[in-house]
Amino acid sequence: MPTFLHVFEPRYRLMIRRALEGDRTFGMVLPQRPRTPNDAHFKEHGTLLRIVNAEYFADGRSLIETTGISRFRITRHGILDGYLVGKIERLDDISIAEEEDLEAAETQQALERYESAETHQSDDSAPARPPLTTVEDLSAMPTSELLALGVSFVERMRQQSVPWLAQRMLAIYGECPNDPALFPWWFASILPAKEFEKYNLLGTRSVRERLKICCGWILEWESSRWSLTDCRIF
């Protein structure tokens, strides 16, 4: 997914210049307020970005267009010329076989819990999935249904002409993908959610887990717990 950065501080202008002179990559992490003197002032997980384009202004500022390459965890860190540098460990997803095993285990456990709760039904009554009402219920859904829930939500929002699905936003991030691996990153890029909510995606190692997080956001949105004042329009 594309990310646009307005670079104006001298230390970051230096960092971007060095990145452009090298392999055009740098890491981005989410800042946080330390709770103790030993806490870092940034989150543990981040995104490795590659600079696609750089537009410079007369006063030295620049607008940087980047695209995400991979995720990482910071193992060591320090300061170089005023900006953060560190050693990182790449975060990769589990294998497709492990994804399938995870899906099978979760859906089977959910089905067993539901069948146990419905012991009052007659023997010839086939158990049916209960209405989707909580985040916990998402584990009962196959991965394909999680994706379908997300895509259908986007379609409903487009029919309601929500600002964050305006054409200018889709021109930047593209149309809603039907690929379960791509959907969570697209959805997080375009949904007006708080950054700490989106951060939860970075530490996950499975497509299914990210889809469940996105569907959790959808449940919160539809239960009107999110404020429209969080919406940021470009």
What is the rounded average pLDDT of the residues 48-58? Answer: 96
Greater confidence (126 vs 187) lies with 187
Q: What is the pLDDT of residues 108-121, one digit of tens each?
A: 876 666 666 665 55
Average pLDDT over residues 136-156: 93
What residue ranges define each of the domains in the chain, with the CATH number in brackets?
2-91 (2.30.130.40), 96-230 (no CATH)
With 70 as the cut, is the pLDDT of residue 124 above it? no
For 76-106, write each residue's pLDDT tens digit.
999 999 999 999 999 999 999 999 999 999 9
- What integer pLDDT is reported at residue 39 of this predicted model? 85
Higher-pLDDT residue of 122 and 62 is 62
Portion of the chain with pLDDT greater than 90, in percent: 75
Backbone angles phi, psi at 194, to 5 degrees: -70, 150
Is pTM beyond 0.85? Reply is no
Please spell the DSSP secondary structure of 118-167, one letter per residue.
Answer: TTTS-TTPPP-PPP--SGGGGGGS-HHHHHHHHHHHHHHHHHTT-GGGSH
